[in-house]
Chain A
Amino acid sequence: MPGDHRRIRGPEESQPPQLYAAGEGEEPAPRDPARLRPVYARAGLLSQAKGSAYLEAGGTKVLCAVSGPRPAEGGERGGGPAGAGGEAPAALRGRLLCDFRRAPFSGRRRRAPPGGGEERELALALQEALEPAVRLGRYPRAQLEVSALLLEDGGSALAAALTAAALALADAGVEMYDLVVGCGLSRAPAPAPAWLLDPTLLEEERASAGLTVALMPVLNQVAGVLGSGEGGPTESWAEAVRLGLEGCQRLYPVLQQCLVRAARRRGAAAPL
């Protein structure tokens, strides 16, 4: 970056060798549209964070850490009627600050560290999806910080980040109504516009539309939906959302197992 004196300077411009390579198109292999890639999830691996989780689904690797609750920065907000169950009035409720970043080496091309608009949009999406699940009323005037790091993008990155963030919050002992499970979908381009669950990077790149749904499995409530792309009939989008929600339900047992194992590990390590 031209003016950035905080980082070591490299050349002004550089191009990845792939641009010059003799191009060979890769086509995504045909597959069952409702297949979910096997997931590896592990919670409680970072010692410096209050709670943490690592999720791997196919080529996508996400690491998430939670810290807090910490006294909130920003002005005091006035009181109001107290919520049910001894919770703080709405104006004093805690805040959830989410941060999403991509590692420079996560995609095909290196992305220089200051991420820009896309990362902020995804961070906001994370926050909107996680808020319904966290009992923020129990953390008055406090803030919880969630940082998600995408180590490698193999498709459905936002969905993986959502799931990892929810696991990390649970691992940190934050009071929650339910876990949040995320699932990605993409619609293949024109000749056969079918919705594919849990797309790989290749499928996502060639898609005409993409969708991410976040579900709270036990309560069976949708926590967030983020979609973009070419328009289509509403039934098609409705069907996609249904497919996504089914996918989330199927993922839930794996995450439960992961949290149980983490709690056991923590219990075994605690008495010193």
Chain B
Amino acid sequence: MAAGFKTVEPLEYYRRFLKENCRPDGRELGEFRTTTVNEFGAPPTDAPDKGYVVPNVDLSPLCSSRFRSGPPGEEAQVASQFIADVIENSQIIQKEDLCISSGKLAWVLYCDLICLNHDGNILDACTFALLAALKNVQLPEVTINEETALAEVNLKKKSCLNIRTHPVATSFAVFDDTLLIVDPTEEEEHLATGTLTVVMDEEGRLCCLHKPGGSGLTGAKLQDCMSRAVTRHKEVKKLMDEVFKSMKPK
């Protein structure tokens, strides 16, 4: 029934999305599970003061029958690269914070995102899940023993990561160069002639723009999208703050 309405009055449908306030649906649609596992590694030789953040998005046959088991397909690779770009460009964490001992030891944060149910718009869900997981990370305290040159870890004393910005992604599906739908479902993505993802942080700065081909967009439409993304950021930030406040410290 909703589909009929969509074809008859597409602009109205779009407006409905705009009016909706802080939709947690954006997350439920493409449920994600992230965890970050922290491990030690040697820092890269070209940047001895930096640690690593290694994202990995897993789209398995569990989340949708489109995917086959085996090595990551195209969509998973694109999503992983997108997340890596968001982390890099938005500077959520400074890689220098992850360094324990310059040139010798640094933290490696493995971010594994597993999609449980794919109902469209995974990039938004991925960024949100990643942010929530990073907020939850507790790094134990490490000291390097001078004599043995080995690390000593104190699992009892843990500190949180310093999260500098809170990027939020907003995805749009483009229909016929004119119509834009926010937060597309699987069906809508399939029918769309193009997609666009805008990542904003809380100061209204653009961190990342992802437009993989598809039909063209006028400059005005693009501006429209960006302002919509700024509004969405405010809605999502409210939800995020509620969630973080309710999280029990471990």
Q: Which residues of A contact B (CB under 8 A)?
A: 4, 6-18, 20-22, 45-49, 63-65, 67, 70, 99, 101, 103-105, 110, 113-114, 145, 147, 149, 151, 272
Contact status of A7 and B142, CB under 8 A, knowing A22-B152, A103-B33, A147-B60: no
CB pair B119–A47 under 8 Å, yes or no, is yes
A9: B residues at CB distance < 8 A:
54
Contact of B72 among A6, A99, A272 (CB under 8 A): A6
B154 contacts across to A, CB distance below 8 A: 21-22
* Contact B62–A65 (Cβ < 8 Å): yes
When the two chains form their complex, are residues A16 and B80 in contact, meaning their CB atoms are under 8 A apart?
no
Enumerate chain A residues within 8 angstroms of B152, measured Cβ to Cβ.
Answer: 20, 22
Tell me whether B40 is interfacial, beta carbon within 8 Å: yes
Partner of A11, one of B41, B56, B65, B155: B41
CA A13 to CA B77, docked complex, whole Å: 22
Query: 7 shortest A-B CB distances, which residue pairs?
Result: A11-B41, A10-B54, A14-B41, A14-B39, A105-B35, A67-B65, A147-B62
CB closest residue in chain A, given B31: A46
**Selected interface stretch from B7-15, B107-115, B204-212, B227-235:** B107-115
Chain A residues in 8 Å Cβ range of B108: 10-11, 14
Supplied contacts A17-B39, A47-B117, A149-B60, 4 more A-B pairs, CB within 8 Å: A11-B44, A16-B38, A113-B58, A147-B60
Assess whether B151 is interfacial by the CB under 8 Å rule.
yes
User: Are the CB atoms of A14 and B62 closer together than 8 Å?
Assistant: no
Say yes or no for B247: interface residue by CB 8 A criterion: no
Known: A103-B114, A272-B1. A16 touches B72 (CB 8 A): no
Which chain A residues lie closer than 8 Å to B40 at the CB level?
14-17, 20
- Fill in one digit per residue for B87-123: 1 if any A CB lies within 8 Å of its CB, else 0: 0000000000000000000001010101011110000
Residues of B within 8 A of A7 (CB): 56, 72, 77, 80
